[in-house]
Amino acid sequence: MFAAAAAAILVALALAIIRAIKGPTVFDRVLAGNSVGTLAIMLLAVVGFLTERPEFLDIGLTYGLLNLIGTLSVLKFFRHGDLAYDADSESKS
Amino acid sequence: MLLTLLAVVTIAIVRQRSLFGVVILASIYSFLMASVLIVLDAVDVAMTEASVGAGVSTVLLLATLHLVKTTEMKRVRPHLLPLFVSLGTGAVLVWGTLVLPPFGTPDAAIHKHVAPRYIADTIKDTNVPNVVTSVLADYRGYDTLGETTVIFTAGIGVMLLLRKARRRGRRDDAETSR
């Protein structure tokens, strides 16, 4: 059952990557990148259960946090054109 | 399958014309690479790849993209010699792997050298339950000390450079506003 899940995740990864390569707009690419990150987390969890080591789930949590940071920074860059937007007032307070 | 996806993403990165798309694809590449490393059972390396490759370097690439101007180069005529050189090197490397023992066999040469001693004596010598940690922090302590020294020096250098640049920038701002 876990093998079937892993195969399905691989197919989903392929689809997300096709979207990231073809994607006409930037938002398609950002969304595809985010979903690739999520699928990598799921693949990690499934591989953990396949090799009967469910403690891989902890590492999956860390991946989730990293994925959030990456997507947030990309979107912030796209919104403001600057990563350090409003950083001065934040550092003063 | 994962390696096929990796190759596809690499070709897409090279052919991509928009730099923003390249950043996103590089992040995707890092996540795929981390997945490959997990399948190869190197979870700690995969962890580093995901945090550095997908997290930090995405942010760094975006910041660089913001700081530098972009100009589009003319399409260069494809050179054939480098292609042949890299293909030849790859072929030689693949030929070299043919004589290696199969992946994960316990009686490969690398597992016969010091690994049994580490596994047998870790608890007695260092009292650390994790063998990898004991090897990194104890048996190869000087090696790790050197590595951290190198990284520390590099960090100090970058900080000094950035601080000087920022101070000069501020003075320029003050002069122009006057």
Enumerate the domain spans of chain B.
Answer: 1-70
More confident position, B152 or B99: B152
Contacts of A69 in chain B (CB under 8 A): 55, 59
**Record: contact B62-A73, CB cut-off 8 A:** yes
**Record: contact A17-B39, CB cut-off 8 A:** no
pLDDT confidence of residue B60: 80
Q: What is the pLDDT of residues B61-70, one digit of tens each?
A: 877 777 777 6
Q: What is the pLDDT of residues B40-58, one digit of tens each?
A: 777 777 778 877 877 778 7
Chosen for mutation from B2, B6, B24 (greatest number of chain A CBs closer than 10 Å) is: B24
- Residue A50 CB contacts under 8 Å (≥ 6 apart), including other chains: A2, A3, A6
Helices within B16-80 (DSSP H only): 19-39, 43-48, 57-67
pTM higher than the cut 0.90: no
Q: Predicted ipTM?
A: 0.72
C-alpha distance from A89 to closest chain B C-alpha (Å): 17
CB B47 within 8 A of CB A58: no
Torsion, Cα B141 B146 B147 B150, to 10 degrees, reads 160
